[in-house]
Protein backbone atom coordinates (compact mmCIF):
# COMPACT_ATOMS: atom_id res chain seq x y z
CA UNK A 1 0.00 0.00 0.00
CA UNK A 2 1.53 3.27 -1.14
CA UNK A 3 0.25 5.18 1.91
CA UNK A 4 2.22 2.90 4.22
CA UNK A 5 5.35 3.59 2.15
CA UNK A 6 4.76 7.34 2.49
CA UNK A 7 4.30 6.99 6.24
CA UNK A 8 7.49 4.96 6.51
CA UNK A 9 9.44 7.59 4.55
CA UNK A 10 8.11 10.26 6.90
CA UNK A 11 9.07 8.23 9.98
CA UNK A 12 12.54 7.56 8.58
CA UNK A 13 13.03 11.30 8.17
CA UNK A 14 11.89 11.95 11.74
CA UNK A 15 14.25 9.30 13.04
CA UNK A 16 17.28 10.59 11.14
CA UNK A 17 16.74 14.36 11.25
CA UNK A 18 14.92 14.82 14.55
CA UNK A 19 16.41 11.93 16.51
CA UNK A 20 13.08 11.02 18.07
CA UNK A 21 12.94 8.15 20.56
CA UNK A 22 11.79 4.71 19.45
CA UNK A 23 8.60 4.86 21.49
CA UNK A 24 7.70 8.21 19.90
CA UNK A 25 8.22 6.78 16.42
CA UNK A 26 6.07 3.78 17.35
CA UNK A 27 3.28 6.07 18.56
CA UNK A 28 3.46 8.08 15.33
CA UNK A 29 3.34 4.87 13.27
CA UNK A 30 0.27 3.56 15.08
CA UNK A 31 -1.61 6.84 14.80
CA UNK A 32 -0.76 7.42 11.13
CA UNK A 33 -1.44 3.88 9.98
CA UNK A 34 -4.82 3.98 11.73
CA UNK A 35 -5.55 7.29 9.98
CA UNK A 36 -4.57 5.83 6.60
CA UNK A 37 -6.83 2.82 7.25
CA UNK A 38 -9.72 5.20 7.99
CA UNK A 39 -9.15 6.99 4.69
CA UNK A 40 -8.98 3.71 2.79
CA UNK A 41 -12.20 2.49 4.39
CA UNK A 42 -13.88 5.65 3.10
CA UNK A 43 -12.47 5.41 -0.40
CA UNK A 44 -9.57 7.85 -0.01
CA UNK A 45 -5.84 8.04 0.61
CA UNK A 46 -3.17 10.49 1.75
CA UNK A 47 -2.79 12.10 -1.69
CA UNK A 48 -6.50 12.88 -2.09
CA UNK A 49 -7.72 13.43 1.51
CA UNK A 50 -9.68 16.65 1.95
CA UNK A 51 -10.41 18.80 4.97
CA UNK A 52 -13.86 17.17 5.09
CA UNK A 53 -12.22 13.74 5.27
CA UNK A 54 -10.14 14.88 8.23
CA UNK A 55 -13.21 16.36 9.93
CA UNK A 56 -15.00 13.03 9.50
CA UNK A 57 -11.97 11.27 11.01
CA UNK A 58 -11.97 13.60 14.03
CA UNK A 59 -15.72 13.05 14.46
CA UNK A 60 -15.13 9.30 14.39
CA UNK A 61 -12.48 9.58 17.11
CA UNK A 62 -14.84 11.65 19.25
CA UNK A 63 -17.65 9.13 18.76
CA UNK A 64 -15.36 6.39 19.95
CA UNK A 65 -14.94 8.28 23.21
CA UNK A 66 -11.27 9.23 22.94
CA UNK A 67 -10.04 11.88 25.33
CA UNK A 68 -9.34 15.31 23.88
CA UNK A 69 -5.64 14.94 24.70
CA UNK A 70 -5.44 11.69 22.69
CA UNK A 71 -7.26 13.24 19.72
CA UNK A 72 -4.95 16.26 19.85
CA UNK A 73 -1.89 13.98 19.80
CA UNK A 74 -3.18 12.06 16.78
CA UNK A 75 -4.02 15.27 14.94
CA UNK A 76 -0.52 16.59 15.63
CA UNK A 77 0.99 13.51 13.97
CA UNK A 78 -1.32 13.86 10.96
CA UNK A 79 -0.44 17.54 10.59
CA UNK A 80 3.26 16.78 10.54
CA UNK A 81 2.70 14.08 7.94
CA UNK A 82 0.79 16.42 5.63
CA UNK A 83 3.48 19.10 5.96
CA UNK A 84 5.98 16.44 4.94
CA UNK A 85 3.88 15.44 1.92
CA UNK A 86 3.50 19.09 0.92
CA UNK A 87 7.25 19.71 1.15
CA UNK A 88 7.96 16.56 -0.90
CA UNK A 89 5.54 17.54 -3.65
CA UNK A 90 3.19 14.62 -3.02
CA UNK A 91 0.43 17.15 -2.36
CA UNK A 92 -0.16 20.69 -3.45
CA UNK A 93 -2.00 21.67 -0.30
CA UNK A 94 -2.29 20.83 3.39
CA UNK A 95 -5.87 19.83 4.31
CA UNK A 96 -5.03 19.83 8.03
CA UNK A 97 -3.86 23.46 8.11
CA UNK A 98 -7.10 25.03 9.30
CA UNK A 99 -8.32 22.20 11.51
CA UNK A 100 -8.59 22.93 15.22
CA UNK A 101 -7.60 20.42 17.86
CA UNK A 102 -10.36 19.61 20.37
CA UNK A 103 -10.15 21.70 23.49
CA UNK A 104 -8.91 19.90 26.55
CA UNK A 105 -11.31 20.07 29.42
CA UNK A 106 -9.99 22.17 32.24
CA UNK A 107 -10.35 20.54 35.60
CA UNK A 108 -9.52 21.83 39.03
CA UNK A 109 -6.47 20.03 40.39
CA UNK A 110 -6.85 18.05 43.59
CA UNK A 111 -6.47 20.31 46.58
CA UNK A 112 -6.19 19.95 50.33
CA UNK A 113 -9.03 21.15 52.49
CA UNK A 114 -8.26 23.76 55.11
CA UNK A 115 -7.90 21.29 57.97
CA UNK A 116 -5.44 19.23 55.92
CA UNK A 117 -3.36 22.33 55.18
CA UNK A 118 -3.28 23.16 58.88
CA UNK A 119 -2.18 19.60 59.68
CA UNK A 120 0.53 19.70 57.00
CA UNK A 121 1.98 22.99 58.23
CA UNK A 122 1.91 21.75 61.82
CA UNK A 123 3.65 18.45 60.97
CA UNK A 124 7.32 19.58 61.04
CA UNK A 125 8.95 19.55 64.47
CA UNK A 126 9.70 23.23 65.01
CA UNK A 127 11.97 22.40 67.95
CA UNK A 128 14.53 21.15 65.42
CA UNK A 129 16.40 23.36 62.93
CA UNK A 130 15.22 21.44 59.84
CA UNK A 131 11.68 21.23 61.16
CA UNK A 132 11.58 24.99 61.65
CA UNK A 133 12.90 25.51 58.12
CA UNK A 134 10.29 23.18 56.66
CA UNK A 135 7.48 24.83 58.62
CA UNK A 136 8.57 28.25 57.39
CA UNK A 137 8.63 27.09 53.77
CA UNK A 138 5.21 25.44 54.03
CA UNK A 139 3.74 28.47 55.75
CA UNK A 140 5.09 30.84 53.10
CA UNK A 141 4.05 28.62 50.20
CA UNK A 142 0.46 28.53 51.42
CA UNK A 143 0.49 32.20 52.47
CA UNK A 144 1.57 33.42 49.04
CA UNK A 145 0.39 30.83 46.52
CA UNK A 146 3.70 31.07 44.70
CA UNK A 147 5.06 28.22 42.62
CA UNK A 148 7.56 25.87 44.24
CA UNK A 149 10.16 26.88 41.65
CA UNK A 150 9.63 30.49 42.72
CA UNK A 151 9.90 29.64 46.42
CA UNK A 152 13.23 27.83 46.14
CA UNK A 153 14.63 30.60 43.90
CA UNK A 154 14.06 33.39 46.44
CA UNK A 155 17.18 35.25 47.54
CA UNK A 156 17.66 37.59 50.48
CA UNK A 157 17.28 40.60 48.23
CA UNK A 158 13.82 39.45 47.14
CA UNK A 159 12.27 39.87 50.59
CA UNK A 160 10.86 43.11 51.94
CA UNK A 161 9.81 42.01 55.41
CA UNK A 162 8.81 45.51 56.52
CA UNK A 163 6.34 45.91 53.65
CA UNK A 164 5.30 42.26 53.77
CA UNK A 165 6.05 40.98 50.28
CA UNK A 166 8.44 38.97 48.15
CA UNK A 167 9.65 39.79 44.67
CA UNK A 168 9.49 36.65 42.57
CA UNK A 169 10.34 35.85 38.97
CA UNK A 170 7.71 33.58 37.46
CA UNK A 171 7.07 32.01 34.08
CA UNK A 172 8.42 33.94 31.13
CA UNK A 173 10.83 35.76 33.47
CA UNK A 174 7.98 38.01 34.59
CA UNK A 175 8.44 39.72 37.92
CA UNK A 176 5.61 40.19 40.41
CA UNK A 177 5.17 40.98 44.07
CA UNK A 178 3.53 38.39 46.31
CA UNK A 179 2.04 39.32 49.65
CA UNK A 180 2.86 37.40 52.81
CA UNK A 181 1.04 37.71 56.13
CA UNK A 182 2.59 38.43 59.52
CA UNK A 183 2.56 34.87 61.00
CA UNK A 184 4.53 33.57 58.01
CA UNK A 185 6.99 36.46 58.27
CA UNK A 186 7.50 35.79 61.97
CA UNK A 187 8.28 32.15 61.29
CA UNK A 188 10.61 33.15 58.48
CA UNK A 189 12.42 35.57 60.79
CA UNK A 190 13.04 32.74 63.27
CA UNK A 191 14.43 30.56 60.49
CA UNK A 192 16.74 33.33 59.21
CA UNK A 193 18.08 34.20 62.67
CA UNK A 194 18.26 30.78 64.32
CA UNK A 195 18.50 28.10 61.64
CA UNK A 196 20.04 29.35 58.43
CA UNK A 197 23.37 30.32 60.06
CA UNK A 198 23.65 26.78 61.46
CA UNK A 199 22.98 25.20 58.07
CA UNK A 200 25.41 27.53 56.33
CA UNK A 201 28.29 26.94 58.76
CA UNK A 202 31.34 25.83 56.80
CA UNK A 203 29.51 25.96 53.45
CA UNK A 204 30.23 28.25 50.46
CA UNK A 205 28.15 31.44 50.65
CA UNK A 206 24.87 31.55 48.72
CA UNK A 207 22.15 34.16 48.33
CA UNK A 208 19.47 31.45 48.44
CA UNK A 209 17.05 32.11 51.28
CA UNK A 210 16.23 28.46 51.86
CA UNK A 211 19.06 25.94 52.08
CA UNK A 212 19.49 22.23 52.70
CA UNK A 213 21.16 20.57 55.67
CA UNK A 214 24.44 20.84 53.73
CA UNK A 215 24.10 24.57 53.18
CA UNK A 216 23.19 24.25 49.49
CA UNK A 217 20.28 26.00 47.81
CA UNK A 218 17.06 24.06 48.24
CA UNK A 219 15.81 22.44 45.02
CA UNK A 220 12.26 21.87 43.90
CA UNK A 221 12.77 18.10 44.08
CA UNK A 222 14.20 18.27 47.61
CA UNK A 223 11.32 20.34 48.89
CA UNK A 224 8.60 18.18 47.39
CA UNK A 225 10.21 15.14 48.96
CA UNK A 226 9.92 16.96 52.29
CA UNK A 227 6.28 17.85 51.61
CA UNK A 228 5.37 14.24 50.89
CA UNK A 229 7.13 13.14 54.08
CA UNK A 230 5.32 15.72 56.21
CA UNK A 231 1.99 14.86 54.56
CA UNK A 232 2.50 11.24 55.57
CA UNK A 233 3.35 12.32 59.12
CA UNK A 234 0.16 14.41 59.20
CA UNK A 235 -1.93 11.43 58.12
CA UNK A 236 -2.93 13.02 54.81
CA UNK A 237 -3.90 10.23 52.42
CA UNK A 238 -4.21 12.39 49.30
CA UNK A 239 -1.33 12.43 46.84
CA UNK A 240 -0.03 15.99 46.93
CA UNK A 241 0.92 17.23 43.48
CA UNK A 242 3.73 19.74 42.92
CA UNK A 243 1.11 22.49 42.76
CA UNK A 244 -1.07 21.15 45.58
CA UNK A 245 -0.60 24.00 48.05
CA UNK A 246 -0.72 26.63 45.29
CA UNK A 247 -4.11 25.37 44.14
CA UNK A 248 -5.28 25.02 47.74
CA UNK A 249 -4.31 28.67 48.29
CA UNK A 250 -6.39 29.81 45.31
CA UNK A 251 -9.34 27.54 46.06
CA UNK A 252 -9.57 28.69 49.66
CA UNK A 253 -9.37 32.36 48.65
CA UNK A 254 -12.24 31.96 46.19
CA UNK A 255 -14.22 29.91 48.69
CA UNK A 256 -13.99 32.77 51.19
CA UNK A 257 -15.05 35.45 48.72
CA UNK A 258 -12.02 36.56 46.68
CA UNK A 259 -12.79 37.56 43.10
CA UNK A 260 -11.06 35.76 40.22
CA UNK A 261 -9.26 38.89 39.01
CA UNK A 262 -7.59 39.34 42.37
CA UNK A 263 -6.64 35.66 42.53
CA UNK A 264 -5.23 35.96 39.02
CA UNK A 265 -2.90 38.74 40.13
CA UNK A 266 -1.80 36.85 43.24
CA UNK A 267 -1.04 33.70 41.26
CA UNK A 268 0.74 35.57 38.48
CA UNK A 269 -1.46 34.19 35.70
CA UNK A 270 -1.01 36.13 32.48
CA UNK A 271 -4.71 35.75 31.61
CA UNK A 272 -7.80 35.40 33.77
CA UNK A 273 -8.87 32.43 31.62
CA UNK A 274 -6.17 30.40 33.38
CA UNK A 275 -7.66 31.33 36.73
CA UNK A 276 -11.17 30.36 35.59
CA UNK A 277 -10.53 26.74 36.57
CA UNK A 278 -11.63 27.95 40.02
CA UNK A 279 -14.98 29.25 38.71
CA UNK A 280 -16.96 26.30 40.02
CA UNK A 281 -15.74 27.04 43.56
CA UNK A 282 -17.10 30.58 43.24
CA UNK A 283 -20.33 29.24 41.75
CA UNK A 284 -20.80 26.84 44.66
CA UNK A 285 -20.40 29.74 47.08
CA UNK A 286 -22.94 31.82 45.14
CA UNK A 287 -25.43 28.94 45.21
CA UNK A 288 -25.09 28.76 48.98
CA UNK A 289 -25.67 32.51 49.28
CA UNK A 290 -28.69 32.30 46.98
CA UNK A 291 -30.18 29.32 48.82
CA UNK A 292 -29.68 31.00 52.18
CA UNK A 293 -30.93 34.50 51.42
CA UNK A 294 -33.40 34.38 48.52
CA UNK A 295 -36.98 34.68 49.89
CA UNK A 296 -38.29 31.96 47.56
CA UNK A 297 -35.42 29.50 47.86
CA UNK A 298 -37.48 26.91 49.70
CA UNK A 299 -38.25 28.70 52.92
CA UNK A 300 -41.84 28.61 54.11
CA UNK A 301 -43.52 31.80 52.95
CA UNK A 302 -45.33 33.86 55.55
CA UNK A 303 -49.01 34.56 54.80
Pairing between β-strand 175-179 and β-strand 159-160 as defined by DSSP bridges: unpaired
Determine which one of 74, 147, 196, 230 is catalytic: 147
Cβ neighbour number for residue 145 with a 10 Å cutoff: 22
Distances, alpha carbon 240 to alpha carbons 99, 134, 226, 229, in Å = 37, 16, 11, 11
Contact present, 120 and 135 (Cβ < 8 Å): no
Strand order in the sheet with 159-160: 159-160, 165-169, 175-179
Bridge partners, 178 (sequence order): 166
Spatial separation of the C-alpha atoms in residues 191 and 283, rounded to whole Å: 40
Instruction: Output the furthest CA–CA distance in the chain (Å, rounded).
Output: 83
Spatial separation of the C-alpha atoms in residues 51 and 57, rounded to whole Å: 10
Spatial separation of the C-alpha atoms in residues 194 and 177, rounded to whole Å: 26
Contacts of 218 (CB under 8 A, 6+ apart): 137, 152, 208, 210, 211, 212
Among candidate residues 163, 236, 156, 165, the one with its CA nearest the CA of residue 196: 156
Determine which one of 97, 104, 171, 290 is catalytic: 171
Contacts of 302 (CB under 8 A, 6+ apart): none
Reply yes or no on whether 255 is catalytic.
no
Reply yes or no on whether 294 is catalytic.
no
Determine which one of 6, 74, 246, 247 is catalytic: 246
Reply yes or no on whether 181 is catalytic.
no
Contact present, 143 and 181 (Cβ < 8 Å): yes
Among candidate residues 179, 183, 185, 135, the one with its CA nearest the CA of residue 161: 185
Determine which one of 28, 142, 191, 278 is catalytic: 278
Reply yes or no on whether 193 is catalytic.
no
Cβ neighbour number for residue 71 with a 10 Å cutoff: 18
Determine which one of 73, 80, 243, 285 is catalytic: 243
Reply yes or no on whether 133 is catalytic.
no
Reply yes or no on whether 171 is catalytic.
yes
Contact present, 119 and 137 (Cβ < 8 Å): no
Residues tagged active-site = 147, 171, 243, 246, 269, 278
Amino acid sequence: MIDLERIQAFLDELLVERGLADHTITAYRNDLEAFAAFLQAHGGDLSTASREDLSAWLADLAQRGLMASSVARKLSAVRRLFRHLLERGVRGDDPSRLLSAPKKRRTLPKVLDESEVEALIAAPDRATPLGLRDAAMLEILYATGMRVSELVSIGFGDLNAEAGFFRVVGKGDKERLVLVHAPALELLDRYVRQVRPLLMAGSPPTDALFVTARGEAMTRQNFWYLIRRHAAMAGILKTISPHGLRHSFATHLVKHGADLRGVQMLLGHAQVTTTEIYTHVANDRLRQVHARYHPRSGRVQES
